[in-house]
Chains A and B, each alone.
Chain A
Amino acid sequence: MGTDRTQRGDDWLEEALRADAREHAAAYLADDGFTASVLARLPQVAALPSWRRPVVALLWLIAGGAVAVALPGLFYDVFRGVIATVFGQPLTVSRIAVALIVLGAFTWSTLIYAAREE
């Protein structure tokens, strides 16, 4: 007990309160399943179903296919534009290096995403 907290001179009452406090401090309450019941009441971790990821990938594939079928001209134009842009560039070491870095980063991030825990 700190010295600043009580009015001194209450003698017997002070002593009675201190004795009660000592008893309180000494009496350890056995756990008796208390901790287990608290842990059982903790909110559950939101667990995503295991089939979610393949279904999402399949949906993206279907959506992409649907766009390609619905807009074949746009798809072809975009493809030609990409080819023309890529092969129209002069081939230099620095450009090859940048392309490799971008490709590596893309592959790495895809692998990390695929291997991540839910």
Chain B
Amino acid sequence: MSSPAVSDAQLIARVLVQDDRHAFGELVRRHQSVVRATLRKLTGGNHALADDLAQETFLLAYRNLRSFRQEAKFSTWLYRIAYNAFLADTRKMKELPLPEDTDVDDLASVDHNDAMPVARSAALSVDLARAMATLSEAERAAIVQCYHNDLSHEEAAYVLGCPVGTVKTHILRAKQKLKARLSGWGPET
């Protein structure tokens, strides 16, 4: 992918110095996809809620742009705001419901190894999404940041606001749970 002619840092400077809303619009256009996709993962596929939280994320970013010290990438800073917005919403809503007609215990009981490769991959993706919804918020967030957003443990710790060791623990526990939930997908023993 080619790098854009105007960097994020230059756009941020325009917003801060001239209150250039077109520049902020360009920042939103560049990052909306990853922020919305991340929130869709965090909310367990609730697109409407994810988009609401994404809007909230960018509004908070605009209001707090002066506090962005460039110690992290702009996208990482956005992930952090998005995660905090998600947490605030979750505290209001308490528990996230599982997607409809999901019986997570069934995921482990079916042997999927006989399925056709493409169908198998699609089915695994669906089951993985359902199994992800059973993780705790912190575990799901750690997986989303480290795998889907391709962040290092240190960057994920910054986003999630916790020590690096905690991120590693969340990932380890998440993978143990996913393995148990998706054991039907594992190699035959």
Please give, as numbers and ranges, the residues of chain B lying within 8 Å of A16 by CB-CB distance. 124-125, 128, 182, 185
Interface residues on chain A, number (Cβ under 8 Å): 32
Are the CB atoms of B153 and A5 closer together than 8 Å? Answer: yes
Known: A5-B171, A10-B175, A38-B55. A23 touches B125 (CB 8 A): yes
Are the CB atoms of A6 and B146 closer together than 8 Å? Answer: yes
* Surface stretch bound by A, among B2-10, B32-40, B72-80: B32-40
Are the CB atoms of A34 and B146 closer together than 8 Å? Answer: no
Please give, as numbers and ranges, the residues of chain A lying within 8 Å of B187 by CB-CB distance. 11-12
Closest B residue by C-beta to A24: B148
Known: A17-B147, A34-B51, A38-B55. A24 touches B153 (CB 8 A): no
The secondary structure that dominates the B interface is helix
Please give, as numbers and ranges, the residues of chain A lying within 8 Å of B14 by CB-CB distance. none
Interface residues of A (CB under 8 A from B): 1-2, 4-7, 10-13, 16-21, 23-25, 27-29, 31, 34-35, 37-39, 41-43, 45
Beyond known contacts A25-B148, A38-B25, A45-B19: 19 more, CB 8 A cutoff? A1-B147, A5-B153, A10-B179, A16-B124, A16-B125, A16-B185, A17-B143, A17-B178, A18-B147, A20-B128, A20-B147, A20-B148, A21-B147, A21-B148, A24-B148, A28-B33, A37-B55, A39-B24, A41-B55
